[in-house]
Amino acid sequence: MNRLVIRRIFIVVWIVLALAGALAHTVAERAVGHTIDLGLPNLQYGYVMFNANPKRVPVYTYAHADGERHDLADLDPRPALGYKRARVALDAMFSATYLRDLCNRALTSRDDQITIYVDGYQVDVDREHPAMSTTEVCGGPR
Amino acid sequence: MDRAKLFAPFEGTRDPRPLAIVRIAFFTGLLLHFAPSLIWLEVGYGRGAVRVDAWNHWLFSHLSHTPPALVRVLAIVTLLALVAAIVGIRPRIAAIVAGLGCYAFASFNSIHLQTLALVPAWAILMLWMICGGGANAYAPRASGEREPSLLPSLILFQILLAVWFSGFEKLLAGWPWSNEMGIVLAYPHGFMVRDWVAAFPLLHGPVVSTLLTWGTLAVELGTPVLLLVRRTRLAALVVYELFFLGIIAMLEVPPLFYFIFASVPLLALDDSQLRQLTDVRSRVRRWVPRRRAS
């Protein structure tokens, strides 16, 4: 087979796979009740941008013993240009143990104590005031 | 149908500058995305780090047994490959090393790497590994020769498909009747939206959010098609760029997302349209000193 034919086969295969990957997460989910994994990483999650957005969302802050609240993103040493708070919020939403890990890493001394505040907003009801609030404490005098 | 005509967009050659711009934007986005995790390595990849499995399960299970020194070396090699790709040194080899490195680290621990931002990145990396190219302009050994059309056309197809299907997914999710942008814009200070959006009352009313919901659908379903039609291309490009500028101005999304989606449509421009844009740029350049002198 010459190069032209191989190239054309590659083009067709790539286009068909890309379309199949898109359909495997849209039409297939409705037709067969679940998505189809086509193996390739670029086809693993379909093509999604903010199609379904949560109505209950958390806002994370923290305070040391002095009680002054700061943005939780300040605890993570890794910079994130322009999306630091969103990154920390999504990390915390997707991993149950992330908050505790972040908190423990940020302790500066044996007696240091950090309280993480999680304010949950039901945005379709009231976007100004949290519907629920919880705290998580790490560290403190032992 | 004539096969040559069918495959024409993927064959032949084109101006090397748009692909070089995409190369710089894309690999810079990847570098900004991965560098924090690969420099502060012990936070995400050290012993006892909280890890999430989102990509390759085998790598997720096995990389945790890798000696830390080797992980550090892999991180440095990955970062260097990303820099080489940005600069334009052996972009295909750089894409292979950077792609394998980024995929290994994303599989090792996906937390902090925003899974959905990486979906289009894997596609572009794979295409770059297979096709190569992109160093004929804005690179140390740039020849200025025209680039084969295969890589730019497939990247363009991939990204426009992703944008169109994002719109299609929204339709299936009940847009525009659910006024989903009303929910996004109602997010409080500290979650996803930028501070000015949370503080700007005009954006929280139903009229503006409904218009933005419909506008989002129109852009995502319309511009990928209109960018392919020569007559509507430049107008569609302006609308498309404003849309993604709007997203990054309003929402806290990774720069990688913006760098991919904003740069790739430049690949739709043909030679005469690029000349038109270059003429506009040189006219502006001539006009600015005249204004300063007067």
Give CA–CA dist B85/B172, Å, rounded.
38
Which has the closest alpha carbon to B217: B177, B171, B262?
Answer: B171
pLDDT tier, A29 (very low <50, low <70, confident <90, very high otherwise): confident
Distance (Å, whole) CA A21 – CA A44: 7
Nearest CA in chain A to B154: A11
pLDDT-derived band at B294 (thresholds 50, 70, 90) equals: low
Question: Rounded mean pLDDT of B49-70?
Answer: 93
Determine the residue of chain B that is closest to A122 in CA distance: B187
Residues spanned by the domain of B216: 149-294
Q: Where do we find the tokens 């064959």? A: B11
Domains held by chain B: number: 2
Tokens of B269: 């421009």
Query: Average pLDDT of chain A?
Result: 90
Asked whether residue B173 falls in the same domain as residue B185, the answer is yes
User: Of the segments A77-91, B43-57, B254-268, which one has the largest average pLDDT value?
Assistant: B254-268
- Work out how many CB contacts closer than 8 A connect A with B: 161
Closest approach of A142 to chain B, Cα-based (Å): 22
Which residue has better confidence, B116 or A21? A21
- Closest partner residue to A26 (CB to CB) among B172, B186, B252 is B172
In what helix (H) or strand (E) does residue A102 lie, and over which residues does it extend? helix A98-106
Q: Which of A49, A59, A101 sits opposite B190 (nearest CB)?
A: A59
How many Å apart are CA B220 and CA A129, to the nearest integer?
Answer: 33
H helix or E strand, kind and range, residue A123: none
- Rg over alpha carbons for chain B, rounded to the nearest Å, is 21
CB-nearest partner of A51 from B163, B170, B252:
B170
Query: What is the per-residue pLDDT for B273?
Result: 94
Which range marks the domain in which residue A114 is found? 56-139
Mean pLDDT of chain B: 94
CB burial of B248-282 (b: ≥16 within 10 Å; e: otherwise) equals: bebbbbbbbbbbbbbbbbbbbbeeebeeeeeeeee
Domain count, chain A: 2
Query: Which of chain B's residues have a Cβ under 8 Å away from the Cβ of A15?
Result: 157
> In the 3-class helix/strand/coil scheme, how is A2-69 assigned residue by residue?
CHHHHHHHHHHHHHHHHHHHHHHCCHHHHHHCCCCCCCCHHHCCCCCCCCCCCCEEEEEEEECCCCCE
B265 assigned to some structural domain: yes
Buried b / exposed e over A20-51, threshold 16 CB at 10 Å, is: ebbbbbbebbeeeeebeebeebbbbbbbbbbb
- Whether B199 maps to a domain, the answer reads yes
Check whether residue B49 and residue B129 sit in a common domain. Answer: yes
Three-state DSSP state, B137 = coil
Q: Does residue B171 share a domain with residue B53?
A: no
CA distance A106 to A74: 10
Do residues B286 and B190 both lie within one domain?
A: yes
Q: What is the pLDDT of residues B180-205, one digit of tens each?
A: 999 999 999 999 999 999 999 999 99
Identify the pLDDT of residue A32. Answer: 83
B158 and B275 together in one domain: yes
Same domain, residue pair B83 and B169: no
Q: What is the ipTM of this complex?
A: 0.91
| B7 found inside a domain | no
Q: Do residues A65 and A97 share a domain?
A: yes
Residue B266: predicted pLDDT: 97
Residue to test with chain B: of A6, A17, A42, most B Cβ within 10 A:
A42
If DSSP codes are grouped into helix, strand and coil, which group holds residue A126?
coil
Confidence (pLDDT) at B178: 87
Burial class (CB in 10 A: 0-12, 13-18, 19+), A58: buried
Q: Which residue of A has its CA nearest to B107?
A: A41
DSSP B202-231: GGGSHHHHHHHHHHHHHHHHHHHHHTTSGG
Instruction: For residues B97 and B144, state if they share a domain.
Output: yes
Q: Residue A126 falls within a domain, yes or no?
A: yes
| Same domain as B209, residue B160 | yes
Give a yes or no: residue B4 inside a domain: no
Query: Is residue B185 located within the same domain as residue B236?
Result: yes
User: Do A34 and A100 share a domain, yes or no?
Assistant: no
Looking at the fold, whether B239 and B144 belong to one and the same domain comes out as: no
Mean pLDDT of B160-173: 93
Assess whether B141 and B157 both reside in one domain: no
Output the six-digit token pair for A39. 């193996």
- Position B164 pLDDT exceeds 90: yes
Write the DSSP assignment of B87-119 as a string of letters.
HTSSHHHHHHHHHHHHHHHHHH--TTS-HHHHH
Pick from B128, B148, B168: which residue ends a domain? B148
Closest partner residue to B166 among A11, A47, A86, by Cβ?
A47
Position of tokens 């034919």? A5
pLDDT at A142 over 70: no
Any domain includes A129:
yes
Determine what percent of chain B is predicted with pLDDT higher than 90. Answer: 84
Contacts of A64-68 with C-beta under 8 Å, sequence gap 24+, read A64/A112, A64/A113, A64/A114, A65/A112, A65/A113
Chain B interface includes A96 (CB < 8 A):
no
**A76: which chain B residues are within 8 Å (Cβ-Cβ)?**
43
The answer, yes or no, to whether residue B264 has pLDDT greater than 90, is: yes
Q: Domain ends where: B148, B183, B214?
A: B148
A125 and B CB contact within 8 Å: no
* Nearest residue on chain A to B104, alpha-carbon basis: A41
| Residues A113, A64 within the same domain | yes
If asked whether residues B106 and B180 sit together in one domain, one would say: no
Band (A38; pLDDT cuts 50, 70, 90): confident
pLDDT at B1: 65
Are residues A16 and A85 located together in one domain of the fold? Answer: no
Out of B148, B163, B180, a domain closes at B148
Let me know whether A60 and A110 are in one domain: yes
**Residue B8 domain flag:** no
**B283: pLDDT confidence band, cut at 50, 70 and 90?**
confident
Task: Give the three-state DSSP class for A116.
Answer: strand
By the CB < 8 Å criterion, does A56 face chain B?
no
Burial class (CB in 10 A: 0-12, 13-18, 19+), A137: exposed
